[in-house]
Structure 1
Amino acid sequence: MEKLTIQLKNIQQNFGAKEVLAIDELSVYENDRIGIIGGNGEGKSTLLKIIHGDLKLEGEIQREVAFNYYPQIAEVDELFNIDALDWALMSQFDVPKINLQTLSGGESSKFWLAQILSVYQMGLLLDEPTTHLDRESVKKLVEELRYYYGTLLFVSHDRYFLNQLADKIWEIQDGKVVEYEGDYDSYKEQKEQEHIKNERDKENYLQEKRRLETAIAKKKEQAEKASKVSNKKKQQSIRPDRLSSSKQKDTVQKSMQKSAKSMESRLSQLQEVRTETKEQEIHFPTPKSVEIHNKYPIRGENLQLTAGDKVLLKQTDFQFALNKKIAIVGENGSGKTTLLDAIVNDREGVVLSPKVAFSFYQQMDYKLYGEERMLTFLMKRTEYPEKLVRSLLNNLGFAQLEISKPLSALSGGEATKLAIALLFVRPSNVLILDEPTNFIDIKTIEALEKLIASYEGTVLFTSHDPYFVEKLADEVYEMKNKQLQLMS
Structure 2
Amino acid sequence: MLLKANQLKVFRKDRLLFDIEELAIHQGDRIGLVGTNGSGKTTLLHVLAGQETPDSGTVAATAVCTLLPQLKQGDGRQSGGEMTQTYIERALSRPSALLLADEPTTHLDTEHIEWLEDKLRHHYQGALIVVSHDRAFLDAICTEIWELDHGKLHHYRGNYTHFAQQKELAHRQQVEAYEAYTQKKKQLEHALEKKKKKADKATKPSQKVKSSGPKIAKPYYANKQKKLEKTAKSIETRMEKLEKVEKVKDIQPIQMTQHTMKEVASRTILRVKNVDGKAGGKVLWKQANVEVRGGDKVAIIGKNGSGKTTFLRMLVNGHPGVTRSEAVKLAYFRQDLSGLKADESILQNALKEAVQDETVVRTVLARLGFRGDDVHKPVEVLSGGERVKTMLASLLVSDANVLMLDEPTNFLDLAAVEALEGLLKDYPGTVVFVSHDRRLIEEVATRIFHIHEERIEAFDGTYEAYKQKEEKPAMTNREEELLLIDMQLSEVLSRLSIEPSQELEETFQALLKQKKSLES
User: Which range, TM-score by smaller chain?
Assistant: 0.7 to 0.9
Q: Confirm or deny that 1:22 pairs with 2:19.
A: yes
Q: Superposed, which structure 2 residues align to 1:303-382 within 5 Å? A: 303-365=275-337, 368-382=340-354
TM-score of the pair, normalised by structure 2: 0.81
Provide the residue aligned with 2:153 in structure 1: 177
Letter in 1 for 2:93: S
Given the alignment of the two structures, is residue 425 of structure 1 paired with residue 384 of structure 2, yes or no?
no
Q: What is the CA-CA distance between 1:60 and the residue it aligns to? A: 2.5
1:283 and 1:455 in contact (8 A); partners too: no
Confirm or deny: 8 A CA contact 1:23 1:175 kept in the other structure: yes
1:157 aligns to 2:147 (yes or no):
no
Residue 51 of structure 1 pairs with residue 48 of structure 2: yes
SS of 1:190's equivalent in the other structure is: helix
CA distance in 2, matches of 1:113, 1:429: 41
Say whether the 8 Å CA contact 2:290–2:458 is kept in structure 1: no
* Secondary structure at the counterpart of residue 2 of structure 2: strand
Note the C-alpha offset of 1:204: 1.3
Among candidates 71, 74, 80, match of residue 105 of structure 1: 80
Measured after TM superposition, the shift of residue 16 of structure 1 is 1.5
C-alpha contact (below 8 Å) 1:286/1:428 kept by paired residues? no
8 Å contact 2:266–2:295 — kept in the other structure? no
Contact 2:349 2:390 in 1 (8 A): no
Q: Counterpart of 1:5?
A: 2
Amino acid at match of 2:387: A
1:389 equivalenced with 2:364 (yes/no): no
Question: In structure 1, what is the Cα distance between the partners aligned to 2:341 and 2:130?
Answer: 33
Equivalent of residue 112 in structure 2, options 113, 137, 145: 137
Contact 2:147 2:154 in 1 (8 A): yes
Alpha-carbon distance between aligned partners in 1 of 2:338 and 2:104, rounded to the nearest angstrom: 22
The answer as to 2:96 corresponding to 1:121 is: yes
Residue 187 of structure 1, CA deviation: 1.2
Distance in 1 (alpha carbons) for counterparts of 2:40 and 2:119: 27
Question: In structure 2, do the counterparts of structure 1 residues 56 and 153 end up closer, same or farther at CA, with 3 Å as the change threshold?
Answer: same
Q: How far is the alpha carbon of 1:248 from its aligned partner?
A: 6.0
Counterpart-to-counterpart distance in 2, 1:19 and 1:273 = 26
Cα distance 1:275–1:348, how it changes in 2: closer, same or farther (>3 A)?
same
Looking at structure 2, the residues matched to 336 and 185 of structure 1 have their Cα atoms a distance apart, in angstroms, of 29
What is the alpha-carbon distance in structure 2 between the residues aligned to residue 170 and residue 31 of structure 1? 15
1:455 to 392, 410, 427: 427
Identity %, equivalent residues = 36
CA distance in 2, matches of 1:459, 1:370: 26
User: Of the candidates 412, 421, 431, which is equivalent to residue 440 of structure 1?
Assistant: 412
List per-residue Cα deviations over 1:407-446 (Å, max 9, x = no partner). Answer: 3343333222111101212221211011112221222112
Post-superposition offset of 1:126: 0.6
**CA distance, structure 2, for counterparts of residue 437 and residue 377 of structure 1:** 20
CA distance in 1, matches of 2:247, 2:91: 42
State how many pairs are aligned. 457
| Structure 2 residue matching 1:297: 3-state secondary structure | strand
Measured in 2, the distance between the counterparts of 1:112 and 1:309 equals: 29
Query: 1:368 Cα shift?
Result: 4.1
| CA distance 1:380–1:101, change in 2 (3 Å) | closer
Q: Structure 1 residues 218, 431: closer, same or farther in 2, change over 3 A?
A: same
Distance across 2 between alignment mates of 1:293 and 1:192: 34
Report if the CA contact (8 A) 2:4-2:24 is conserved: yes
Q: Distance in 1 between matches of 2:241 and 2:4?
A: 37
Corresponding letter in the other structure for 1:160: A
The match for 1:71 among 49, 69, 72 is 69
Equivalence map 1:199-214=2 (5 Å): 199-214=175-190
Task: Determine if the alignment matches structure 1 residue 264 to structure 2 residue 236.
Answer: yes
Residue 197 of structure 1 aligns to a residue whose secondary structure is helix
* Greater relative contact order (Cα < 8 A, sep 6+): 1
Task: Specify whether residues 440 and 456 from structure 1 end up closer, same or farther in structure 2 by C-alpha distance, changes over 3 A only.
Answer: same
Structure 1's unaligned 5+ residue stretches are: 77-99
Distance 1:169 1:224 in 2: 59
Which of residues 251, 256, 268 in structure 2 aligns to 1:279? 251
Give the drift of 1:208. Answer: 1.5
Task: Please give the alpha-carbon distance, in whole angstroms, between the structure 1 residues aligned to 2:226 and 2:343.
Answer: 61
* Aligned-partner SS, 2:391: helix
Q: For the Cα contact (< 8 Å) 2:333–2:392, is it kept in 1?
A: yes
The 1:75/1:401 distance shift into structure 2, 3 A limit, reads: closer
- Conserved 8 A contact 1:361-1:432: yes
Q: Does the CA-based 8 Å contact 1:8-1:26 persist in structure 2?
A: yes
Q: 1:447 to 1:288 in 2, by over 3 A?
A: same
SS in 1 for 2:304: coil
Match for residue 189 of structure 1 among 165, 174, 194: 165
Does the 8 Å contact 2:11/2:17 carry over to 1? yes
What is the alpha-carbon distance in structure 1 between the residues aligned to residue 447 and residue 90 of structure 2?
37
Give, in angstroms, the shift of residue 170 of structure 1.
Answer: 1.0
Q: Quick one: structure 1 residues 55 and 366, their matched pair in 2 at CA, closer, same or farther if it must change by over 3 Å?
A: farther
Deviation sequence 1:73-125 (CA, Å, 0-9, x none): 3698xxxxxxxxxxxxxxxxxxxxxxx85111111111111111110211110
Distance 1:46 1:294, change over 3 A: same
8 Å CA contact 1:290–1:427 kept in 2: the answer is: no
* CA–CA distance in structure 1, aligned partners of residues 261 and 410 of structure 2: 32
Residues 294, 324 of structure 1: alpha-carbon distance in 2 compared, 3 angstrom cutoff: closer
TM-score by length of 1: 0.86
- Aligned equivalents of 1:295, 1:426: Cα separation in 2: 21
Deviations 1:372-402 (A, max 9, x none): 3332332221222222212212222222332
8 Å Cα contact 2:276/2:286 also seen in 1: yes
Quick check: 359-368 or 341-350, which moved more? 359-368
Deviation at 1:293, TM superposition (A): 6.8
Counterpart amino acid of residue 110 in structure 1: Q
Contact preservation (8 Å) 1:9, 1:23:
yes
Q: Which amino acid aligns with 1:149?
A: Q
Aligned pairs (5 A) from 1:290-305? 291-292=263-264, 295-305=267-277
For the Cα contact (< 8 Å) 2:174–2:248, is it kept in 1?
Answer: no
Q: Deviation of residue 25 (structure 1)?
A: 2.1
Give 3-state SS (helix, strand or coil) of 2:363's partner. helix
Alignment partners' CA distance in 1, 2:18 and 2:314: 45
Deviation at 1:128, TM superposition (A): 0.8
